[in-house]
Amino acid sequence: VAEAKDIAPAVAKAFYIAKTGRPGPVLIDITKNAQNELIEEAEYKKCESIRTYRPKPVLSMAQVDAAAKLINKASRPYILAGQGVLLSGASNELIAFSEKTGIPVACTLLGLGAFPTDHPHYAGFLGMHGNYGPNVNTNECDLLIGIGMRFDDRVTGNVAKYAKQAQVIHIDIDKAEINKIIKADVAVHADAKEALTALTGRCDRKQHPLWLKSFQHLNSIEFERVINKDIHPEGELTMAEVIHKISEITKGESILVTDVGQHQMVASRYYKFKNPLTQITSGGAGTMGFALPAAMGAKMGKPDQQVIAVIGDGGFQMTVQELGTIMQYKIPVKILVLNNNFLGMVRQWQQLFHEKRYSFTEMSNPDFVRLNEAYGISAERVTDRDELDGAIKRFLEADATRFLEVVVGKEDNVFPMVPAGSGVAEILLEAPKK
């Protein structure tokens, strides 16, 4: 934007682009000249269309009919729900669709919250560090229905070993995502809410009890071998037990903002999200340092809801200066740092795939409690299991901004894990024995 008269239309256009279609950020570049220029009158007129931009595809009933036909004859159908479901506000439509058709639903990282975790049709969390059932059964289903998700590499693992046996229905508002990674047998280029409403009307009422049970069976194996040990550990504190406790106390109803790394995967695995739009994380961008500023934004947007930022010791220092903003505007967010004194996820890869050659992953951290106190934020550190319950209680009950650091095991790993290059069914429940 080089002239002041163009600023208002540019901002109006930016809001229109940011909020429609597949929503996202818009960059506006305003020259210094334009900023200093004086104009008579700046009129802000809402932008409602751009000639060359068609954000909302028209739902094709032929595509819906083709999809319904596949769904009605499938015996092991399986839904993968992504952030598109949340962005289109289609959670209730997804629940109605799943209940009518009896199809199990797994959520991607950004799709968490799109389907309630306590619903009997909930299959689990998908992806590299997701649950056992949803990953293994990807290669067992006969129909895969991706809704508002993009078959990202963290979901698919090795594409050559991904759901080869299944037919694929892909519902997405962004045409460029369809057939990009996984070829769709039926593509529905549409808004998730419209597509789900139309599909629910055209699909038969069905149940798939045995198929649902196979997810529960696989997830119970994971519970035995991984989850139970994670949430009821002996020895050092674990990230999982902290998140598990917070999830139970908040009943999965708080807004959880996570950074990037091990704590992000643990939080996504162990926090039992009940409601849409309660999980905020940077997803594919993978930006460490995201959680603290994002949590501030979440709290400003939803001042009546409890907002908890879960951050690792590495990511916390990347945007630690935002404590100043929190102090200045008195934003009552909860800040939980799970400190293992490592860049834990990178270390995990170095351990498992690079023969433990740790390179620049060990951290010498400052005293986080004193650092927060310098910003006038009440803070506490926990190193012992006996102190954990009391500390979490004080953390969650505080009215003002509150910081809690939990010092956890230095070299704990996040499992299950689909190693890079492996297929989803080759998901590991523990480190391979050398």
Partner 1 sequence: MKQEYTLEILADNEFSILNRIVNVLNRRRVRIKRLLAHETEGNFKSGRAILLLYTTSDMIEKVKHQIEKLIEVEEAVYTEGSHLFYELLERSNNKQVI
Nearest distance, CB of residue 186 and partner 1, angstroms:
17
CB of 60 to partner 1, least distance (A): 17
Asked whether 390 and 359 are in contact (CB, 8 A), the reply is no
- Cβ 56 to partner 1 shortest distance, Å: 14
Segment contacting partner 1 by CB under 8 A, of 98-106, 171-179, 315-323, 373-381:
171-179
CA-nearest of 264, 245, 326, 341 to 292 is 326
142: contact with partner 1 by CB under 8 A? no
Nearer to partner 1, 175 or 394 (CB): 175
Judged by CB under 8 A, the stretch of 170-178, 212-220, 293-301, 371-379 that binds partner 1 is 170-178
User: Given CA atoms 82, 83, 85, 86 in this order, what sign does their dihedral have?
Assistant: positive
d(CA 137, CA 211) in angstroms, rounded, equals: 9
DSSP 3-state of 26: coil
Q: Which range in 48-56, 214-222, 284-292, 317-325 contacts partner 1 by CB under 8 A?
A: 48-56
- CB 30 → partner 1: shortest distance, Å? 14
Residue 55: cis peptide before it, omega within 30 degrees of 0: no
Rounded distance between C-alpha atoms, residue 16 and residue 293, angstroms: 24
- Kindly tell me which residue out of 175, 217, 232, 354 binds partner 1, with binding defined by CB under 8 A: 175
CB atoms within 10 A of CB 73: 12
Q: If binding is defined by CB under 8 A, does position 225 make contact with partner 1?
A: no
Calpha distance 81→148 (Å, rounded): 6
Residue 53 as a binder of partner 1 (CB under 8 A): the answer is yes
Calpha distance 215→234 (Å, rounded): 28
Q: Is 160 among the residues that bind partner 1 (CB under 8 A)?
A: no
Binding status of residue 176 toward partner 1 by CB under 8 A: yes
- Residue indicated by tokens 């986080």: 368
By beta-carbon proximity to partner 1, the closer residue of 63 and 139 is 63
Is the four-CA dihedral 30, 35, 40, 46 of positive or negative sign?
A: positive
The one segment of 85-93, 128-136, 176-184, 225-233 that binds partner 1 by CB under 8 A: 176-184
Q: How far apart are CA 431 and CA 212, in angstroms?
A: 28
Give the span between the Cα atoms of 112 and 279, in whole angstroms. 7
Could you say whether residue 174 binds partner 1 (CB under 8 A)? yes
Q: Which of residues 7-36 bind partner 1 (CB under 8 A)?
A: 17
Taking the complex as a whole, how short is the minimal distance between the CB of residue 22 and partner 1, in angstroms?
Answer: 9
H or E element: which one contains 369?
helix 368-374
Return the number of other C-beta atoms located less than 10 Å from residue 5's C-beta: 14
The footprint of partner 1 on this chain (CB under 8 A) covers a number of residues equal to 10
Contact call for residue 180 and partner 1 (CB under 8 A): yes
Stretch touching partner 1 by CB under 8 A, among 47-55, 127-135, 243-251, 404-412: 47-55
Q: What is the dihedral of CA 300, 191, 126, 115, to 10 degrees?
A: 60
Task: Work out which of 50, 58, 429, 431 binds partner 1, going by CB under 8 A.
Answer: 50
Six-digit token string for 68: 């319904």
Q: Decide: is 56 part of the binding site for partner 1 (CB under 8 A).
A: no
How far apart are CB 191 and partner 1 at their closest, in Å?
Answer: 16
The piece of 58-66, 173-181, 338-346, 397-405 that touches partner 1 (CB under 8 A) is: 173-181
Distance between CA 400 and CA 396 in Å, rounded?
10
Residues in touch with partner 1 (CB under 8 A)? 17, 50-53, 174-176, 179-180
